[in-house]
Amino acid sequence: MATPVFTSLKIVFSPSHLSNSKHYSINHPRRIFKHSFAANVRASSTAFVDTKQIEPVVVEKEVKQRKNILACPICYEPLTWNGNQGLSIESLQGSSSQCSTCKKTYAGTKTHLDLTAASGAKNYIEPMPVATELFRLRLVSFLYERGWRQNFIFGGYPGPDKEFEMMKGYLKPVLGGNIIDASCGSGLFSRLFGKSGFFSSVVALDYSENMLQQCYEFIQQEENFPKENVILVRADISRLPFVSSSVDAVHAGAALHCWPSPSAAVAEISRVLRPGGVFVATTSILDGPFSAVPFLKTILQNIRQVSGCYFSQSERELEDLCIACGLVGFSCIRNGTFVMISAAKPC
């Protein structure tokens, strides 16, 4: 059953020989900060991206006291916490919360807080698409930062550090706020967000328990990591456990193509973003030479039906997805099959 998934992953992360990389922008979201970053992207066999910082990033707005943005994934009502109100990695174990509407209780573990709709069910098991289940495997979770993610460079991905520099320009309007690292995997970007000091709180969110375990272990290995500002949450991307209009930014690195329903996921992201909130994501587009593949659209549809993977064939397709889900100011940067997109919730 997993064969189509590995085949599709091989297609996405194979070397690309596309034409010159480009920056594509439509009605970029409003800019609050005068400081700017310039990303000079060029296509090459090594998929290298030069990111030049022109001026240092300064968080100019005052960081307000953090509010509880977590909500019941069933009712979307804010959760009432018992015990420690300052939720963090260190305080999760033994903590519990309850929805005031449906009265369901959610308990924290040593590593994360389970806020899936089926949380606490003992006999009910809901299998997910192959692409989702693949990343729940202990072996895949272990290998993700030990060789798996490094191979993305062959698809044009610049690498976590350079991707982090590239997205700063999109995130400038929301610096100092909170950020959700959706489908965080082993927490590559969650850790970067946490250590940067650019955000008041970071939520590392994934559906895979084993990925969250890896994320927790990597954080524990970090010296002087601000654990008080980070929380790990298990949740379904299509049913986000956050209060509507409470989130400043959502990031999804190399994840959109693995979501069973990108439209349901982006619609949820749009719901939780506050007005002016920013969505930034990276994924792969199969255009250029791939367009010459006979019956490509049919092949991709079959891959999606079997594996649950979604592969875009154009930038316009991703723009249309964002617009359909209520986001505006679509913008993107290309490098081979790699694309970084951004859009915002209307103010």
Distance CA 148, CA 151 (A): 6
Looking at 1-10, 102-111, 312-321, which range is the least confident one? 1-10
Residues 159-194 as b/e (b if ≥16 CB within 10 A, e otherwise) read ebebbbbbbbbbbbbbbebbbbbbbbbbbbbbbbbb
Q: Where are the beta strands (DSSP E) in 103-262?
A: 105-107, 113-114, 178-182, 201-206, 230-234, 247-252
Element of type H or E holding 277:
strand 273-284
In a domain, 212, yes or no: yes
Where does the pLDDT of residue 84 fall: very low under 50, low under 70, confident under 90, or very high at 90 and above?
A: low
Q: Residue 86: what pLDDT? A: 66
Q: Residue 16: what pLDDT? A: 36
In a domain, 72, yes or no: no
Distance CA 80, CA 148 (A): 39
Query: What average pLDDT is seen over the chain?
Result: 83
Is the pLDDT confidence value at 40 over 80?
no
Q: Residue 327: what pLDDT? A: 98
Helix (H, G, I), strand (E, B) or coil at 177: coil
In a domain, 70, yes or no: no
Question: Of 159, 136, 142, 149, nearest to 9 (Cα)?
Answer: 149
Neighbouring residues of 212: CB distance < 8 A, sequence distance ≥ 6: 111, 112, 184, 204, 206, 232, 234
In a domain, 282, yes or no: yes
In a domain, 17, yes or no: yes
Identify which has the larger pLDDT, 201 or 3: 201
Distance CA 80, CA 42 (A): 49
Question: Of 153, 178, 139, nearest to 278 (Cα)?
Answer: 178
Distance CA 276, CA 338 (A): 26
What number of other Cβ atoms are within 10 A of residue 123's Cβ? 4
Is the pLDDT confidence value at 91 over 50?
yes
Per-residue pLDDT tens for 218-270?
999 999 999 999 999 999 999 999 999 999 999 999 999 999 999 999 999 99
In a domain, 332, yes or no: yes
Neighbouring residues of 64: CB distance < 8 A, sequence distance ≥ 6: 200
Q: Which domain holds residue 289?
A: 3-65+126-344
In a domain, 43, yes or no: yes
In a domain, 89, yes or no: no
Identify which has the larger pLDDT, 286 or 212: 212
Average pLDDT over residues 291-316: 79
Is the pLDDT confidence value at 67 over 80?
no
Looking at residue 179, which CATH number applies to its domain? 3.40.50.150
Per-residue pLDDT tens for 256-290?
999 999 999 999 999 999 999 999 999 999 887 77
DSSP 84: -
Q: Residue 317: what pLDDT? A: 95
Count: domains in the chain: 1
